[in-house]
Amino acid sequence: MPMRPETVRALLAQGDDEAPALLDVSGAALTYGDLREAVEHLRAELARCGVGRGDTIALLLPNGPELVVAFLAAVTAGAVAPLNPAYRAEELRFYLGDLRPRALITRGDLGAEARGAAPEGIALLELGGDARSPSLAGPSGVAADRGEPAADDVALLLHTSGTTARPKLVPLTQRNLAASASNIASWLGLGPADRCLNVMPLFHIHGLMAAVLASLAGGASVVATPGFDGFKFFEWLGRLEPTWYSAVPTMHQLILERAPRHEDVLAAQRLRFIRSSSAGLPPSVFAALEQRFGAPVIESYGMTEATHQMASNPLPGRVPGLERRAGTVGVAAGAEIRILDPEGRPLTAGERGEVAIRGAGVTLGYVENPEANAAAFSDGWFRTGDEGYLGEDGALTLTGRLKELINRGGEKVAPLEVDDALLQHPAVAQAVAFAVPHPKLGEEVGAAVVLAEGQVVEASELRAFAAERLAAFKVPRSIVIVDEIPKGPTGKLQRIGLAERLGLA
């Protein structure tokens, strides 16, 4: 059996020269040969600017094929740090100050924003051309001829998306990326006939690993869209003929809302499967997706510190004796998993506790953050901050983030359970439960709801509906009907602080 690649450059070398690798939304494609040529050219441009192995290269670029090529060039030259293009000057100042990159690749209006925020000493490089013929304009330096990064070199630097604390900086190695991409490709059975429609942002581990690098690891192709667009999704689905896509639950819910208007596309689409990750998928949404698309839904469990995937449900029939199960994130698929009690002791099947992981894809520790490392790592295991339990078959059920659990007078309420109860109402398109401060109980249950198009329902009716499905202490005392639920930059719901944002605190 051939050895799996241990660097991103080795991973990229595997695809057949003439096979399609990277597409834009017009359908224009770069073959693997074209992609390798573009990446090597941009890598040489970086070396001309004095940037190479051991340097951090920040990217501030919009989603699309050019970002994919820039990412691959940067990650095969040194270490790459993709930044959210929506960041304003103050945010850029923080992230660039924390990363201390040797260079920042940007373009157009984003470059103007970056110039005012970049600390002294960062080489500002303007990306020109297109994905097929990229170029870099900027200050030249002493040519960096330091060889290519090794397996244990840092390849990717990403900040955690903390809601209240200072974001932590996660270093992931070439070996981490190559192993995770190969694992996801193998788990999903990706091959040259597959095409991923990427709707995830490419400053986030989900889009980078599950869509881009996993596709390349499997010799498949990926469409680099400008980002998620609920109005354009079905047009892309019909015209570009992907065999799969991966998204967060809120994106799946928006797709389902718009699905009735696109019955012609639904009848002709050729999705082999749909993948969901980065947050819990309510079983009602799981069932609706399978019914609408006629394709199996594969729910996976991922996080930045694990180089994305650490557990997953299998494709039908792919793992003997193991089938997909709505409400679970599947079995270990990229990391070892155990459940720990607050003292760090392992728990048995069925017992709730904190999910802990270890394995080839797990980071060895946050950058320059000994306090966070001491809290997160225990006897070689990384404590994820998620609560859940393992079934007898090894399938993991997540019950929520430990920090997001609602403590109502000592009774713990898992927000995901409340979400799912509300989502069973036919008028509800999206729902998110959260803690509301209470003078006597400490916290009370609140919820925000988005109604399906054309539906009208009172909050009191939703409370009564939830009361038929939940114990009395879990029923939301406050339900706010909104046009849109505030979300984070990657589309994930953010429960912490939602009561304040909705005026309920």
264-280 tens-digit pLDDT:
999 999 999 999 998 88
- CA 200, chain centre distance (Å): 7
Which H or E run includes 499?
A: helix 498-501
- Quote the CA–CA distance of 398 and 279 in Å, as a whole number: 9
- Quote the CA–CA distance of 61 and 107 in Å, as a whole number: 7
What DSSP string describes 256-295?
HHHGGGGHHHHHH---SEEEE-SSPPPHHHHHHHHHHH-S
The rounded percent of the chain whose pLDDT value lies above 90 is 73
Q: Residue 309: is it exposed, middle or buried by C-beta count within 10 angstroms (0-12/13-18/19+)? A: buried
Six-digit token string for 248: 């967060």
Report the half-sphere exposure of 400 (CA within 13 A, side-chain side): 23
> For the residues 287-312, what does the mean pLDDT come to?
95
What's the pLDDT at 144? 64
At position 126, the amino acid (one-letter code) is: E
At position 416, the amino acid (one-letter code) is: L
158 neighbors 205 (Cβ within 8 angstroms):
yes
Least confident stretch, 73-82, 172-181, 405-414? 405-414
Domain 228-401 of CATH type 3.40.50.12780? yes
Query: Residue 346 carries which DSSP code?
Result: B
- Quote the CA–CA distance of 386 and 400 in Å, as a whole number: 6
- pLDDT exceeds 70 at position 399: yes
* 39: nearest Cα among 22, 25, 55: 22
Q: What is the 3-state secondary structure (H, E, C) of 30-89?
A: EEHHHHHHHHHHHHHHHHHCCCCCCCEEEEECCCCHHHHHHHHHHHHHCEEEECCCCCCH
Provide φ and ψ at 183, rounded to 5°.
-65, -45
- Tell me whether the CATH fold assigned to 228-401 matches the one assigned to 405-501: no
Least confident stretch, 208-212, 342-346, 500-504? 500-504
- Quote the CA–CA distance of 200 and 233 in Å, as a whole number: 12
Ranges of each domain in the chain: 30-172, 228-401, 405-501
Residue in the block written with tokens 């004796």: 321
**Cα torsion angle, 223, 226, 227, 231, sign:** negative
What's the pLDDT at 177? 97
* 422: nearest Cα among 355, 493, 489, 331: 493
Helix/strand/coil for 112: helix
What's the pLDDT at 368? 93
**CATH code, residues 405-501:** 3.30.300.30
- Quote the CA–CA distance of 379 and 337 in Å, as a whole number: 14
* 353: nearest Cα among 373, 333, 378: 378
Mean pLDDT across the chain, nearest whole number? 92
Alpha-carbon dihedral 460, 461, 464, 465, rounded to 10 degrees: -140
What's the pLDDT at 161? 65
**pLDDT band with cut points at 50, 70 and 90 for residue 165:** low
138 neighbors 42 (Cβ within 8 angstroms):
no
408-460 tens-digit pLDDT:
887 878 888 899 899 999 999 999 999 999 888 888 999 999 999 889 999 99
- Quote the CA–CA distance of 99 and 387 in Å, as a whole number: 31
User: At the topology level of CATH, where does 30-172 sit?
Assistant: Rossmann fold (3.40.50)
